[in-house]
Amino acid sequence: MHSSASSVEASPALQAMLRRRSSSKVDDTAPTHEELLALVAGAGRVADHSSMRPWRLIELRGDDRERLGRALNKAAGEKGASTKPMRAPLLIAVVATIRKSEKVPAWEQEAVASGVAHMLSLALDEAGYGVMWRTGHATRTKAVAKAHGLEKHERLLGWLYVGGRPERTRPERPRTIEAERFVSRMPGGERSGSEDAPERPRAKKQKTSKKSKKQKASKSRKDG
Ligand SMILES: Cc1cc2nc3c(=O)[nH]c(=O)nc-3n(C[C@H](O)[C@H](O)[C@H](O)COP(=O)(O)O)c2cc1C
């Protein structure tokens, strides 16, 4: 049965997606292991070609985060431990476990693992926790793989930083997606029904000065 536009807009899943936002700052209230399991049971229901379940998650709590901090510094050729992992009480490492398959290439398996991470982020957000997916230059380095005990066929997709969501002190800037810019029809494709096929949306050209390019490069080095 088809839904009307208004019932689509009222859908709880859509409302949750529109509400979701990343929290760069979180407090020390982490979900318990049991709470996490309940949410993972939902997130793991992503579409999954051949039901390969090509993913696993690693919970990093307490001192685990310091071990990650040491691995991050080692990967960067530095001594000591980066304090970045201490920004949240719980980090969830998202791992794609790639297996050989005639039917399901590696990229499809990574897409499944990525889907789990997005669904879990949404589920945690809806459960009232703050979440931010973070990566960085060291994500796929040997030192970091070793710290997580990854095997050869496993690829890290980064970490969900999870904690309590503090009250926001500043009003949030609205974040909206202009859906029409992202949906088009095939070149030369048949038009069907009464709808006109929209032209392929063109990406807005952005003037990038040398200075802003430099600033961007420096920001991306700091990310993580
Ligand atoms: C795979 C992946 C890696 C990311 N890595 C970082 C990161 O290292 N640092 C960062 O500030 N944001 C990172 N982000 C973006 C944030 O998680 C977040 O989506 C962004 O700040 C926008 O906020 P919003 O999700 O509320 O729209 C990453 C997102 C994804 C999907």
Question: What are the C-alpha distances in Å from 182 to residues 5, 175, 178?
Answer: 19, 15, 7
- CB count within 10 Å of CB 29 equals 15
Taking residues 31-53, what's their average pLDDT? 98
| Cα 223 to ligand 1 centre (Å) | 9
Question: What are the C-alpha distances in Å from 163 to residues 25, 87, 149, 170, 224?
Answer: 8, 9, 24, 19, 17
- CB count within 10 Å of CB 94 equals 23
Q: Which of 24, 119, 132 to mutate to test the pocket of ligand 1 (most atoms within 8 A of CB)?
A: 132
Which band of pLDDT confidence, cut at 50, 70 and 90, is reported for residue 193?
Answer: very low
| Cα 134 to ligand 1 centre (Å) | 6
Whether residue 63 is predicted with pLDDT greater than 60 in this model: the reply is: yes
Nearest to 156 by CA among 165, 166, 145, 164: 145
Please give the pLDDT value at position 167: 84
| Cα 133 to ligand 1 centre (Å) | 5
- Identify the three-state secondary structure at position 62: coil
Nearest to 20 by CA among 175, 224, 181, 223: 175
Whether residue 212 is predicted with pLDDT greater than 60 in this model: the reply is: no
- Ligand 1 neighbours by CB, cut-off 6 Å: 21-22, 132-136, 158, 175, 223-224
84, 145 contact by CB (below 8 A) = no
Taking residues 92-115, what's their average pLDDT? 98
Domains of the chain: 29-164 (3.40.109.10)
Whether residue 199 is predicted with pLDDT greater than 80 in this model: the reply is: no
Query: CA torsion 206→207→212→217, rounded to 10°?
Result: 50
Residue nearest to atom 31 of ligand 1 (CA): 133
